[in-house]
């Protein structure tokens, strides 16, 4: 069975579109779990009314992206999970990517994420972030998200992430000390350490309104991003790299 887990925080219109696409393109046996991070925009009432077949977990506070996904994962019954952002939606059946996972050694797999105009979203997979990543972005060359065939990568985006139950059990899910951002790279880093295989599968696409589920206070969002960046460096990179990043952000007065 496939278990779809969607985290919602004040994205009433987006999650309605997301859920409509899920029930259009996914067939039984299917389990859909929505974890709501204390939304105040009427999302929960809409979900109960329009999608009564879905399981809704309503929280009294916003515990972040990783923590909410972990709650969904802990209650899911499937042998394969799809973590799906509320600002993403299916445009076709994922049977090809599901078969790919069943027939290969893949444990965590991301589809191609596309914008509404059909272009491929950037920075949805690749090598783990390090001190030289900003420089590498400027260099010419083929980018992994433009690959036409499935490839092994260090990490994939959690905006639309297929993972096996084995992958969940071996990693324990997301590190909940990340409130937003870099929790997907951290998950994939631990997955690699556990001997799991991570793939980007561009032959199947999901549409994603990048940033649609995190609109709001830009200053606060930037704060979460840089806090998570430093945490990721602390956990995965040499101490000197983490120190350079921390001092650079302090010098630039990024808070």
Residue 178: per-residue pLDDT: 93
Q: Which residues contact 247 (CB under 8 A, 6 or more apart)?
A: none
pLDDT of residue 75: 96
pLDDT of residue 139: 66
How do 2-8 and 30-36 pair as beta strands?
parallel
**What mean pLDDT do residues 227-233 have?**
91
Give the residue, 248 or 144, on which the prediction is more confident: 144
Band (219; pLDDT cuts 50, 70, 90): confident
Domains defined for the chain, CATH in brackets: 2-212 (3.90.550.10)
227 vs 183: CA distance, rounded Å: 11
pLDDT, residue 218, reads 77
pLDDT in tens, 99-147: 999 999 999 999 999 999 999 999 999 999 888 776 676 666 779 999 9
Tell whether the model's pLDDT for residue 255 goes beyond 60: no
In degrees, to the nearest 5, what angle opens at C-alpha 5 toward C-alphas 216 and 218? 10
Pairing of strands 108-114, 160-164: antiparallel
Residue 253: predicted pLDDT: 58
Amino acid 214: pLDDT? 59
Please list the helix, strand and coil fractions of the chain in percent, rounded to the nearest 5, in that order. Answer: 40, 20, 35
User: What's the average model confidence in pLDDT over 159-164?
Assistant: 98
Average pLDDT, stretch 35-45? Answer: 97
Q: Is the pLDDT of residue 211 over 80?
A: no
Give how far the C-alpha of residue 42 lies from the chain's centroid of Cα atoms, to the nearest Å.
24
Q: Look at residue 57 and tell me whether its pLDDT is greater than 90.
A: yes
Q: Is the peptide bond before 208 cis (omega within 30 degrees of 0)?
A: no
Q: What is the mean pLDDT of the chain?
A: 92
CA nearest to 31, candidates 68, 95, 82, 87: 82
Beta bridge partners of 206: 90, 113
- Digit-coded pLDDT (tens) for 188-205: 999 999 999 999 999 999
Rounded to whole angstroms, the Cα distance separating 8 from 17 reads 12
Written as one string, the DSSP assignment of 124-177 is SEESPP-TTHHHHHHS-S--GGG-SS-EE-SEE-SSEEEEEHHHHHHH-S--TT
CB atoms under 10 Å from CB of 205, counted, come to 20
Which of left, alpha, beta for 162 (phi over 0: left; psi -120 to 50: alpha)? beta
Residue with the bigger pLDDT between 38 and 210: it is 38
pLDDT for position 131: 82
Interatomic CA distance for residues 180 and 227, integer angstroms: 9
**Structure confidence at residue 243 as a pLDDT band (50, 70, 90):** confident
DSSP character for 214?
Answer: G
Q: Looking at residue 135, what is its pLDDT?
A: 65
SS3 208: strand
Is the CB of residue 180 less than 8 Å from the CB of residue 214? yes
């Amino acid at each position: 069975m496939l278990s779809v887990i969607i985290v919602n925080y004040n994205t009433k219109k987006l999650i309605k579109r997301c859920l409509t696409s899920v029930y259009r393109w996914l067939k039984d046996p299917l389990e859909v779990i929505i974890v709501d991070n204390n939304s105040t925009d009427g999302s929960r009432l809409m979900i109960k009314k329009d999608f009564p077949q879905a399981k809704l977990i309503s929280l009294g506070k916003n515990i972040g992206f990783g923590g909410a996904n972990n709650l969904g994962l802990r209650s899911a019954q499937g042998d394969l999970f799809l973590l799906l952002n509320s600002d993403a939606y299916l445009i076709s059946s994922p049977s090809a990517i599901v078969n790919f996972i069943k027939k290969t050694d893949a444990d965590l797999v991301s589809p191609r994420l596309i914008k509404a105009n059909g272009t491929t979203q950037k920075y949805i997979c690749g090598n783990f972030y390090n001190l030289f990543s900003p420089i590498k972005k400027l260099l010419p060359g083929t980018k992994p998200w433009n690959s036409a065939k499935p490839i092994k990568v260090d990490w994939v985006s959690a905006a639309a992430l297929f993972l096996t139950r084995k992958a969940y059990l071996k990693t324990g899910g997301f590190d909940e000390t990340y409130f937003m951002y870099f929790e997907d790279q951290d998950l994939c880093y631990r997955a690699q350490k556990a001997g799991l295989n991570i793939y980007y599968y561009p032959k199947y696409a999901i549409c994603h309104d990048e940033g649609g589920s995190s609109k709001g206070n830009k200053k606060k969002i930037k704060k979460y991003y840089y806090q998570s960046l430093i945490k990721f460096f602390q956990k995965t990179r040499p101490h000197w790299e983490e120190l350079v990043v921390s001092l650079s952000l302090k010098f630039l007065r990024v808070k």
